[in-house]
Structure 1
């Protein structure tokens, strides 16, 4: 069977989560329907071992970096459209099919699912921060921040080869405009955000550093405007305590980014790599 879609999964020390994600992705698929490539990059755990299964090709490289893993996986793909999926993000076969259908629409070059946030195990402060942040970015959300994006052949020509950036999804998002990129209502990705303030700050520092890189490449991030938070408060979409937690963590975020300066790296945020507590043992 000729693959209907290729899926590239970069995986750095993802032993704890990659198997469950692959089980969900492949459940109910026909043999050969999805061409799945897992790239275990600079792993020191059993990521490659637990990812190995029928229907999945596992590549290993000693070179660290998500973008390098994406390039390697992309070069090994056998089909379009291509799904680029974070190893700790969950998506099922039905959502992948919906994304592939959307990528075939006239004028569409790229697409992404609607995210669902798995807040199990998150602390009360960071839960409020996520609530506010999600509502702030929702109106402009497209390909970035949902753990999955999809490119058809023409979209791939626009976005690849990926440059050496922290925010690969931010780069890809910036390669398209208007109706060239769409959010597919019939597709869902389950994203596990940071569970603690400390983990959230580590992630936000990388986001800001990534945005700085993209700006240098001519792809500026869409700014969050203070008046938007006021509008959320006025409409009671968020409460005063939610806003206070968000602003306090935002101040810490900016201070820490200034202290760290230009130092950047890509790695695993273990704060969100927790096994689904509802999954069977």
Structure 2
């Protein structure tokens, strides 16, 4: 049978988890229902071997970088729609079908599942942080941050060729008007967020860099700003406890201080080097 969709999975050093992810995707799928292409990029482990053992097509490249891996996998695909799935994120066959069905609706060019957070092993503050953050962003969630997005053929033309961006899902999200993209309630991913506050703060640095890059490329990610009143509403509605809110605010404050210090260092470096001659001048 012809595949109903192609699935591109960029994978870097994912030997430990990629078999489980592929098993979730393919369990219950009809033979040939999905064209799955795993792109093992700059791997030194058995990622490619494990993926081949699952019966999917595998490409290997020595060049690191998720954007390059996505381009390689995308060029190898034959079918539309196309799903782009992180190797450490689980998506079931039923959820993949729900994404394909959503893209068949008039006017929908891109869609994404809703995330289910796997908090096993996360510290107590990180758990509270993720629960509050998820409740705050859920009403305006789009294509970014859920580990998977799907594009129709028309939507694909908006996103590809994909530039060398840190945030490919942010690029995809910013390529569509709100009415053209959809968060599909009937499709879910299983995502493992940062297990500690320190890991979360490191990830936030990368998120800021990615957002800045998108803005420079003319596709800024627009999102509803998180306001204190929104957090208070969660507490009043008993969707978050006072301790949850306090943990979220404390980590948010640390993140903002770190962001300001980072900007100050960049400005200072720019002033210090602006008068220096270029190399070779």
Q: Give how far 1:259 is off.
A: 4.6
**Per the alignment, in what secondary structure is the counterpart of residue 111 of structure 2?**
strand
* Whole-angstrom CA distance in 1 between matches of 2:187 and 2:235: 29
Structure 1 counterpart of 2:158: 158
SS at match of 1:52: helix
* 1:120-269 superposed matches below 5 A: 120-218=120-218, 219-222=220-223, 223-260=225-262
Determine the C-alpha separation between the residues in 2 that align with 1:185 and 1:111. 10
- Contact 2:132–2:245 under 8 Å retained in 1: yes
TM-score by length of 2: 0.89
Residue-by-residue CA offset, 1:143-170 (whole Å, 9 max, x unaligned): 1111010001000011111122111111
Counterpart of 1:11? 11
Q: Which runs of 4+ in 1 moved over 4 A?
A: 258-263
What are structure 1's unaligned runs of at least 5 residues?
Answer: 264-281
In the TM superposition, residue 43 of structure 1 has moved relative to its aligned partner by 1.1
The offset of 1:54, in angstroms, is 5.5
**TM-fit CA distance, 1:82:** 0.2
Mapped to 2, the partners of 1:99 and 1:80 lie a distance apart of 12
Q: Distance in 2 between matches of 1:95 and 1:181?
A: 17
User: Within 2, Cα distance between the matches of 1:53 and 1:78?
Assistant: 22
Summarize the Cα distance change of 1:116–1:152 in structure 2 as closer, same or farther, 3 Å threshold: same
Asked if the contact 2:6/2:36 (under 8 Å) is kept, the reply is yes
Partner of 1:28: 28
Rg comparison, structure with higher value: 2
Q: Aligned runs of 1:58-97 on 2, under 5 Å?
A: 58-97=58-97
Higher helix share: 2
Cα distance in 2 for residues equivalent to 1:97 and 1:107: 18
CA-atom RMSD in angstroms: 1.6
Other-structure match for 1:42: 42
Query: Is the contact made by 1:38 and 1:73 (CA closer than 8 Å) also made in structure 2?
Result: yes
User: What is the Cα deviation at residue 253 of structure 1?
Assistant: 2.0
SS in 1 for 2:91: coil
Partner of 1:142: helix, strand, or coil?
A: coil
Structure 2 gaps, min length 5: 267-281
Which structure has the higher relative contact order (CA within 8 Å, separation 6+)? 1
1:164-220 CA-to-partner distances (Å, cap 9, x unmatched) read 211111110111113211111211111111111111111111111111111222313
Indicate conservation of the 8 Å contact 1:36/1:56, yes or no. Answer: yes
What TM-score, normalized to structure 1? 0.89
**Aligned-partner Cα distance in 2 for 1:9–1:260:** 33
Residue equivalent to 1:103: 103
Greater shift in the superposed pair: 49-58 or 198-207: 49-58
